[in-house]
């Protein structure tokens, strides 16, 4: 990894942390609020690609592990790794990697803007929702003892918000590709 790669990863780690400062939105029907940090995970994958996006999320994971309160609601420390949402938190790494991997394969600078945006959206949808939820629901069902059906049904309330985040990530990915084409330079 080059110095440029590390700087970009650190920048996106800072973006993910900054998105945690936005106030969480409570759904009222379940105690877990909607946060904006998963948008940062999608953005890291879309803009930086698989490797650098995953490194950006790893930086955030390390910050949490050493106890810094960088997650939404000022959470941090090792307790995050054993809480009911730990699967979603650890899933961020794989979500960013998958989103980046798919972005690298689905989006090309020679494509039209619409095709690029759709490619980024599909990458964000698969990586930032499907992969993330696979980790989160599995951990919640096994460690929380809720069972898969209960964990799955409880997580459905978050899907509409995450689809909106995927749209935002796709539009941002397209804007970055036009204004500062990082994607073709990815290795």
pLDDT in tens, 42-79: 999 999 999 999 999 999 999 999 999 999 888 999 99
Tokens 């994607």 sit on residue: 183
What is the average pLDDT across 20-46? 85
Between the ranges 41-45, 71-75, 151-155, 176-180, where is the mean pLDDT highest? 41-45
Flag whether pLDDT at 174 surpasses 50. yes
What is the average pLDDT across 163-185? 85
CB 19 within 8 A of CB 67: no
CATH class of 3-185: mainly alpha
Q: How confident is the model at residue 187 (pLDDT cuts 50, 70, 90)?
A: very low
> Which among 96, 92, 60, 86 is positioned nearest to 138, based on CA atoms?
86
Output the pTM of the full model. Answer: 0.92
d(CA 172, CA 169): 5
């Amino acid at each position: 990894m080059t110095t440029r790669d590390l700087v970009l990863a650190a920048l996106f780690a800072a973006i993910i942390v900054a998105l945690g400062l936005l106030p969480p939105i409570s759904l009222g029907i379940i105690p877990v609020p909607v946060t904006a940090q998963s948008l940062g995970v999608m953005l890291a994958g879309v803009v930086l690609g698989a490797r650098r996006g995953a490194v950006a999320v790893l930086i955030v994971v390390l910050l949490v592990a050493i106890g810094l309160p960088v997650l939404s609601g000022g959470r941090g420390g090792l307790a995050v790794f054993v809480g009911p949402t730990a699967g979603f938190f650890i899933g961020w790494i794989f979500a960013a990697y998958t989103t980046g991997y798919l972005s690298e394969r689905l989006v090309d600078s020679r494509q039209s803007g619409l095709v690029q945006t759709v490619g980024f959206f599909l990458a964000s949808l698969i990586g930032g929702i499907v992969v993330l939820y696979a980790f989160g629901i599995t951990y919640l069902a096994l460690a929380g003892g809720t069972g898969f059906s209960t964990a799955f049904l409880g997580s459905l309330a978050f899907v509409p918000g995450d689809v909106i985040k995927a749209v935002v990530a796709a539009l941002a990915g397209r804007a970055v590709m036009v204004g500062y084409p990082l994607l073709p330079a990815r290795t």
